[in-house]
Amino acid sequence: MNPLHALSRFALWTCCLILLPFSANATTVRVLTVQGAIGPASADYLVRGLDKAIADRAQLVVIELDTPGGLDTSMRDIIKAILASPVPVATYVSPQGARAASAGTYILYASHIAAMAPATNLGAATPVELAPAGDKPDAARPADAPPGDAKMRKVVHDAAAYIRSLAELRGRNAEWAERAVREAVSLPASEALKLKVIDVVATDLDDLLRQLNGRSVKLGDRTITLDTVHAKVERVMPDWRSRLLAVIGDPGIAYILMLLGIYGLIYEFANPGMLFPGVVGGICLLLGLFAMQVMPISYAGLALMLLGIVLMISEAFVPSFGALGLGGIAAFVIGSVMLIDTDLPGYGLPWMLIVPVAVASALFSFFVASMALRARRRPVVTGAEELVGATGVTLEDIEHEGWARVHSEHWRVRSKTPLPRGSAIRVRARHDLILDVEPWQGE
């Protein structure tokens, strides 16, 4: 064999072996699934999933989305990751009956490819997270009539400009996007396709990949052509970190963690040295506050909750005949209702959680109070006060003052009547280290 020919074949095989992993990954489609409200957990899951797909040189990332909306900060983290991704991202509202409302609409507009399954919808993108009660935008208000609250006007204008910029970047219907923000309108999948809000309507993931095969996608200053017919589909499920964030990011769980933390620290301060309640309470409180920091918290509601807890605990130490306890329950319930001030789906505290927690706190408070009252009614069994009424026996003949044994201790005693040695006595009073006694015949 010609040496030059052999060398060229060797070089060709070497190049094939080097490029084999890249060519294999280039036909890989990563699928990330988000269901439920957009929050810190879903943002962390999607951002890290995109980073992993970029590192593995995947051809396409598909985000299967079904969300009622979510937090603005988490939504923007996801959109920033999509816009900066060198791998094309297709957001697919799926399965049938799913929706991409509020934050989901922004994510759909930011994606390189927007797709929906039949019988799905998007829209209702008016921001409500920061609006106080009574100042929420009215869906029936015309687009050119801004809300009356200055803060709300800023929020709506900012959101409208943001989604319009995303629409112009991807060449989608910017006018309808702005209406979705200002008027909270929605669209089904078929109409969204006609109005050029989305790019594809696909019945399932396989149908989506078939329709995307051969489609050109612009990534910055370059354009790539998708080859998804024979692509290997890899589903990436949330890991333990994302699942943990999803658990503590739930408003109900965060609420319970915060209460456990407060009660644990109170118990530790009341009983120094227990350690376990303080350690567990500190961990729970930090986790609860971490989850609460990304939610629209009403500080007035939080203050009322803390006041209610303090009043219920004070019932155990102050004889208020239930006034402090009842006031504490009322403050706690009102504060719990006010705690999360938002209309975002999935970010409120249900009554089915608030009422049992309030009842449990009240029962615990009254239980502690009843135990304290019982303890007050019990006779004193230790200390100086317990000596009054105690019995003993004289150790010598006592005319006015002498020695006696009381509680197996030698005490100097005084008596108004003479007492022979061995007489039974009872303590009437104590004056420093001298006891006043009297004869005792027993009962």
Active site residue 154: yes
Closest CA relative to residue 313, chosen from 334, 328, 333, 332: 328
What is the predicted pLDDT for the residue at 17?
40
User: Residue 145: which residues within 8 A CB-CB, separation 6 or more?
Assistant: none
Q: 261 — alpha (psi -120 to 50), left (phi > 0) or beta? A: alpha
Distance, CA of 316 to CA of 312 (rounded, Å): 8
Tell me the CA distances in angstroms from 355 to 198, 362, 377, one per residue in order. Answer: 44, 10, 33
Residue 248: exposure state from Cβ atoms within 10 A (0-12, 13-18, ≥19): middle
The candidate with the shortest Cα–Cα distance to 68, out of 124, 17, 28, is 124
In tens, the pLDDT along 160-214 reads 999 999 999 999 999 999 999 999 899 999 999 999 999 999 999 999 999 999 9
Q: Which amino acid is at 338?
A: M
Q: Say if residue 408 is exposed, middle or buried (CB neighbours under 10 Å; 0-12, 13-18, 19+).
A: exposed
Integer Cα distance of 1 and 138 in angstroms: 82
Of 154, 194, 232, 416, which residue is the catalytic one? 154
Quote the tokens at residue 140. 């029936």
Query: Which of the residues 85, 102, 242, 361 is marked catalytic?
Result: 102
**Token pair 């986790």 is at which residue?**
287
Of 105, 87, 62, 47, the closest CA to residue 204 belongs to 62
Return the SS3 of 149.
coil
Concatenated DSSP letters for 291-351? HHTTS-B-HHHHHHHHHHHHHHHHTTTS--TTHHHHHHHHHHHHHHHHSB----TT-S--H
The predicted pLDDT at position 276 comes to 86
Which residues are bridge partners to 233 per DSSP? Answer: 29
Find where tokens 């078929």 sit: 190
- Three-state DSSP at 434 gives strand
> What φ, ψ does residue 357 adopt, rounded to 5°?
-65, -40
pLDDT per residue of the chain (443 residues) written in tens, 0 to 9: 455 444 454 454 444 444 434 443 457 899 999 998 888 888 999 999 999 999 999 999 999 999 998 888 889 999 999 999 999 999 999 999 999 999 999 999 999 999 999 999 999 888 865 444 344 444 444 444 444 567 778 888 999 999 999 999 999 999 999 999 999 899 999 999 999 999 999 999 999 999 999 999 988 888 899 988 888 999 998 888 778 877 887 888 888 888 888 888 877 877 777 788 889 988 988 888 877 776 767 788 888 888 888 887 777 667 666 678 788 888 888 888 888 765 556 666 777 888 888 888 777 767 766 666 666 666 655 566 667 888 899 999 988 899 999 988 899 999 988 899 989 999 988 888 889 999 988 65
Q: Which residues contact 139 (CB under 8 A, 6 or more apart)?
A: 126, 183, 184, 185
Residue 232 annotated among the catalytic residues of the structure = no
Specify the DSSP element, H or E, that contains 40: helix 40-55
Nearest to 67 by CA among 41, 86, 30: 41
DSSP type of residue 135: -
Which amino acid makes up residue 226? Answer: L
* Bridge partners, residue 89, by sequence: 61
With a threshold of 0.85, does the pTM exceed it?
Answer: no
pLDDT at 194 (0 to 100): 95
